[in-house]
Amino acid sequence: MALLPILEVPDPRLREKSTVVEVFDDNLQHLIDDMFETMYKAPGIGLAAIQVGVAKRLLVIDLQQPEEGGEAKRNPMVFINPELTPEGEEKRLYNEGCLSVPDQYAEVRRPSVINAKWQDRDGNFHEERIEGLLATCLQHEMDHLEGILFIDHLSRLKRGMLMKKLLKERKLREDSY
């Protein structure tokens, strides 16, 4: 396994629409494993292939929910060629962040419950009703496959303020080297 570089805004590749995964081979398996290693190291709870420069409809998620003893338990999930449809009108507000927009967070309103169809790492098809944090995370990562970032859901003013703060922090990091 290998750590992959994570693309950050304003990299134009983050705006590409991803293409369907058609071949489920060893290369795909290695990419999935590398994406999990990269996501865990970052650390994050979701990563779309486009965020590591691969424009394929693939994303990985692990909410790493704490068990009763307080320790986080890994539960890696792979979604290939996902399709989402909202169920009902109810929305959920969640303070989102993104590995491609480092250290920046903002509240985004998304459907609370979704119906999802996808393939797993072996190409098997799945369909499930999903809610809660997993629904939010899946919608966030799915946006990446369409070239959309969470900041695109913000008002122009909030997005501008967030980007200004990000660029300022990036410059401070660069100046400290």
| Position 6 in a domain | no
Cα 94 off chain centre by: 14
| Position 35 in a domain | yes
* From 68, 141, 146, 169, active-site residue: 141
| Position 163 in a domain | yes
| Position 145 in a domain | yes
* Alpha-carbon distances, residue 70 vs 44, 52, 75, 88 (angstroms): 18, 31, 15, 33
Residue recorded with tokens 């994570």? 6
Write down the pLDDT at residue 69. 72
Residues of the chain with pLDDT under 50: none
Write down the pLDDT at residue 158. 95
| Position 136 in a domain | yes
Which domain CATH number covers 43? 3.90.45.10
| Position 83 in a domain | yes
68 catalytically annotated: no
**By residue range, what is the domain housing residue 156?**
12-175
Write down the pLDDT at residue 65. 76
| Position 33 in a domain | yes
Write down the pLDDT at residue 77. 98
Residue of 65, 83, 58 whose CA lies nearest to 4:
58
Structural domain count, the chain: 1
Q: What pTM does this model have?
A: 0.93
Write down the pLDDT at residue 168. 92
| Position 7 in a domain | no
